[in-house]
Chains A and B, each alone.
Chain A
Amino acid sequence: METINMADMQNRIENVFQDKNKEKLTIYFTAGYPRLNDTTTILQALDEADVDIIEIGIPYSDPLADGPTIQETSMKALANGMNIQKLFEQLKDLRTITQKPVFLMGYCNNVLKYGTEAFCQKCEEVGVDGLILPDMPMNEYQIQFKPYFEKYNLKNVFLITPKTSEERIRTIDDQNGGFIYMVSSSATTGGSWEDSPERLAYLQRIKSMNLTTPQMVGFGIADYSALQLVNQYTDGAIVGSAFLRNLNPENLQSSIKQFVENIRTPK
């Protein structure tokens, strides 16, 4: 059973990055937003849409790395009554809904409070492929988390920024993560995007490092031109805040379909 799961997961992630010509897109949404029980509806819509990877945000009271949009959706989700138990319940049929790679994004405290091993075990049980914990430092990962991630076949996604040293990026590349999350600039999530020379230099620098782990760029990506640009240099783009801002609670599925079509269409 375990080996099959692992093979499935490897395939799910590897399949995504195999086609080098396709522009790849990860969509983030906050679980429990706009309504408590929208999670599976959103997953279904993302499965049908031209989305490559799905990232489910666990709402947290103190999301340090997030800008106003994800702060608001998190507060709303918590007010709606979302919690980790409920999320795992909602995800119990995850693998009948979608075969796309699914990552959970949250903060360390959510995992620690649940119990790191119990959390990892539950992730494997429902078919989650990996975790993104932006406030988990590498040394803590290696000491406290890695044994459980490995035991339960979860990929860890590390973040890098324009200020991360080459040495540190190489170390991260050696961790066999699902992908490397390239933060587009020194900013919290949901900011604006400019094709600044610094940003291009950053994309070029990472490309020239020929990393073995795929890289996806997030923070501030909201339209086709940014999606297309980062796909020229890296393995894809991650869109969160812009997606959440465009969710229409009255018509979730069509607003999701529309958003993904728009961001994939050259203007």
Chain B
Amino acid sequence: MGKLDIKVDENGYYGEFGGAYIPELLHPNIEELKSQYLKIIAQPDFQEEFKALLKDYVGRPTPLYLAKKLSEKYGAKIYLKREDLAHTGAHKINNAIGQALLAKRLGKKKIIAETGAGQHGVATATACALLGLDCVVFMGEKDIDRQRPNVERMRILGAEVRPASSGSKTLKDATNEAMRHWINNPNDTHYIIGSVVGPHPYPDMVTKFQAVISEEIMQQLQEQEGKNAPDYVVACVGGGSNAAGAFYHYLNNEKVKLVAVEAAGHGIDSGETAATTAKGSSGVLHGSKTLLMQSEDGQVTEPYSISAGLDYPGIGPLHAYLYASKRAQFEYVTDDEAMQACVELSKLEGIIPAVETGHALAALNNLKFEKGEVVVLNLSGRGDKDLQTYINYGNY
């Protein structure tokens, strides 16, 4: 194997995955974004404003916490990257603020976003309130019923929550509706996609905004371990934004094992799963060529996971590439395993994690560590939003 060189190419591909499969109607918007995003992100005044907000508003850097009891249990030094302590309770805010600042520099006054569990919706509504932008969040009708508190949070923050009533009425359809809205309102609107999915340049742009996570991990490990790279980075993957951010600075460091954890739902072969790499195949979803769950006929199928944040029928093209090239190891965790791990972390370390993160935690059981190995697990979000899921689970 030659030296690793994982990055997006000029056409938006990671290997065979990526690209921009979009209707001509979106072409001008995507072109504008493609030609501007790297320039704008590189501007000193953009960087200054972005970094200041991440520090003073979001509360970055988030701590890198050595979880002693968890480490004892698994026989490795397990560090938790505390994205749960970021403002609004998850890593989603990093990207929402980055893109909202970018939208302002593009002269856009209105923001649209899609949301499943509501975390990206809340993060976007927050960024828009802060920066004085109009905000409409598309959310599947089913998810509106399931995630009431986040719906109200978005409304309190001044956003309009628009029900997506097409198709299966969940995240996939909220994304379709947001794209259709963008087609119908191309001039004054920017679409803040919440994960490393969508047409190029979204996967790369969102990855770059989330890369602050691994940038901080490098510095913090240097201080705490005297080296900037761990043996493992572990993160859950729905679309894959928290994993992309946690992996980013280690993508080309082959000594670092990358572990991506997907939701197996009721089990990989149960027919009720969101394990895209296990059950999916190559195709086009939401504007990029990637792995997705689909029927023999190429119809996108509805995934299932207890965790609304992982309940997505595809994964970002970067992750599809990490899977196909075997650069990352993919693990699959069921609803029950994830919930057990959530409760375990709560009891052992006093941290109630998001159910999404519970999947990453449960995957520690599947890994065999050598004594003294350093593991960084991206604690992508906190569990407040999942209280009802914990109550329904009951085993605590």
Q: What residues make up the interface of A, taking CB atoms closer than 8 Å to B?
A: 60-65, 67-68, 71, 75, 78, 83-85, 107-114, 134-137, 139-140, 158-161, 163-164, 168, 183, 186-188, 191
Q: Return the CB mask of B168-196 against A: 1 if under 8 Å, else 0.
A: 00001100100110011110000000000
Q: Is the CB of A64 within 8 A of B24?
A: no
Question: Taking the nearest CB of chain B, how far is it from the CB of A251, in angstroms?
Answer: 29
Given contacts A84-B298, A161-B25, contact A137 B20 (CB under 8 A): yes
Q: Is the CB of B167 within 8 A of A75?
A: yes
Q: Is the CB of B184 within 8 A of A186?
A: yes
**In the assembled complex, which residues on chain B have CB atoms less than 8 Å from the CB atom of A112?**
282-284, 289, 298
- Which of B22, B172, B284, B297 has the most chain A CB atoms inside 10 A of its CB? B297
| CA of A186 to CA of B298, assembled, Å | 28
> Which chain B residues numbered 128 to 185 have a C-beta less than 8 Å away from chain A?
166-167, 172-173, 176, 179-180, 183-185
> Which chain B residues numbered 201 to 249 have a C-beta less than 8 Å away from chain A?
none
Q: Is the CB of A109 within 8 A of B184?
A: no
Q: Is the CB of A159 within 8 A of B24?
A: yes
**In the assembled complex, which residues on chain A have CB atoms less than 8 Å from the CB atom of B167?**
61-62, 71, 75
**In the assembled complex, which residues on chain A have CB atoms less than 8 Å from the CB atom of B19?**
137, 140
Would you mind naming 16 contact pairs between A and B with Cβ atoms under 8 Å apart?
A60-B299, A61-B301, A62-B176, A62-B286, A64-B179, A71-B166, A112-B284, A135-B22, A135-B284, A136-B21, A137-B20, A137-B21, A159-B23, A163-B25, A186-B184, A188-B25
For the complex of A and B, the 5 pairs showing the least CB-CB separation, nearest first, are A113-B298, A83-B297, A159-B24, A65-B23, A61-B299
Given contacts A65-B183, A159-B24, contact A110 B297 (CB under 8 A): yes
At the interface, yes or no: B285 with Cβ under 8 Å from chain A? yes
| CA of A2 to CA of B15, assembled, Å | 36
| CA of A2 to CA of B286, assembled, Å | 37
**In the assembled complex, which residues on chain A have CB atoms less than 8 Å from the CB atom of B24?**
134, 158-161, 164, 183
| CA of A136 to CA of B21, assembled, Å | 6
* B contacts with A, residue count (CB < 8 A): 37
Tell me the nearest residue of chain A to B283, going by C-beta. Answer: A109
At the interface, yes or no: B27 with Cβ under 8 Å from chain A? yes
**In the assembled complex, which residues on chain A have CB atoms less than 8 Å from the CB atom of B287?**
64, 135
| CA of A187 to CA of B282, assembled, Å | 29
Starting from the known contacts A64-B176, A158-B24, 4 additional A-B residue pairs (CB-CB under 8 Å) come to A61-B300, A62-B176, A64-B287, A164-B24
At the interface, yes or no: B28 with Cβ under 8 Å from chain A? yes
> Which chain B residues numbered 65 to 92 have a C-beta less than 8 Å away from chain A?
none
At the interface, yes or no: B126 with Cβ under 8 Å from chain A? no
In the complex, which of the residues B172, B186, B281, B294 contacts A186, with contact meaning CB atoms closer than 8 Å?
B186
Tell me the nearest residue of chain B to A119, going by C-beta. Answer: B298
| CA of A67 to CA of B23, assembled, Å | 13
| CA of A114 to CA of B179, assembled, Å | 25
Question: Taking the nearest CB of chain B, how far is it from the CB of A207, in angstroms?
Answer: 19
Question: Taking the nearest CB of chain A, how far is it from the CB of B89, in angstroms?
Answer: 30
Question: Taking the nearest CB of chain A, how far is it from the CB of B171, in angstroms?
Answer: 12
Question: Taking the nearest CB of chain A, how far is it from the CB of B366, in angstroms?
Answer: 31
| CA of A158 to CA of B24, assembled, Å | 8
Q: Is the CB of A163 within 8 A of B300?
A: no
Given contacts A135-B21, A135-B284, A188-B184, contact A110 B298 (CB under 8 A): yes
Tell me the nearest residue of chain B to A83, going by C-beta. Answer: B297
Q: Return the CB mask of B267-291 against A: 1 if under 8 Å, else 0.
A: 0000000000000011111110100
| CA of A109 to CA of B11, assembled, Å | 19
Question: Taking the nearest CB of chain B, how far is it from the CB of A68, in angstroms?
Answer: 7
| CA of A135 to CA of B176, assembled, Å | 13
| CA of A116 to CA of B251, assembled, Å | 32
In the complex, which of the residues B27, B184, B296, B301 contacts A187, with contact meaning CB atoms closer than 8 Å?
B184
Given contacts A71-B167, A113-B283, A135-B284, contact A84 B23 (CB under 8 A): no
**In the assembled complex, which residues on chain A have CB atoms less than 8 Å from the CB atom of B22?**
64, 135, 137
| CA of A183 to CA of B24, assembled, Å | 9
Q: Is the CB of B25 within 8 A of A109?
A: no
**In the assembled complex, which residues on chain B have CB atoms less than 8 Å from the CB atom of A188?**
25, 180, 183-184
| CA of A168 to CA of B31, assembled, Å | 12
**In the assembled complex, which residues on chain B have CB atoms less than 8 Å from the CB atom of A114?**
297-298
| CA of A112 to CA of B17, assembled, Å | 13
**In the assembled complex, which residues on chain A have CB atoms less than 8 Å from the CB atom of B184?**
186-188, 191
| CA of A83 to CA of B297, assembled, Å | 6
| CA of A186 to CA of B299, assembled, Å | 26
Q: Is the CB of A84 within 8 A of B25?
A: no
**In the assembled complex, which residues on chain B have CB atoms less than 8 Å from the CB atom of A83?**
295-297, 299
Q: Is the CB of A140 within 8 A of B283?
A: no
Tell me the nearest residue of chain B to A164, going by C-beta. Answer: B24
Given contacts A61-B299, A109-B300, A140-B19, contact A186 B176 (CB under 8 A): no
Question: Taking the nearest CB of chain A, how far is it from the CB of B94, in angstroms?
Answer: 27
Q: Is the CB of B183 within 8 A of A186?
A: yes
- Which of A113, A160, A168, A183 has the most chain B CB atoms inside 10 A of its CB? A113
**In the assembled complex, which residues on chain B have CB atoms less than 8 Å from the CB atom of A65?**
23, 25, 180, 183
Question: Taking the nearest CB of chain A, how far is it from the CB of B396, in angstroms?
Answer: 38
Q: Is the CB of A135 within 8 A of B23?
A: yes
Question: Taking the nearest CB of chain B, how far is it from the CB of A61, in angstroms?
Answer: 4
Q: Is the CB of B284 within 8 A of A78?
A: no
Q: Is the CB of A62 within 8 A of B300?
A: yes
**In the assembled complex, which residues on chain B have CB atoms less than 8 Å from the CB atom of A163?**
25, 27-28, 186
- Which of A60, A61, A68 has the most chain B CB atoms inside 10 A of its CB? A61
Tell me the nearest residue of chain A to B30, going by C-beta. Answer: A137
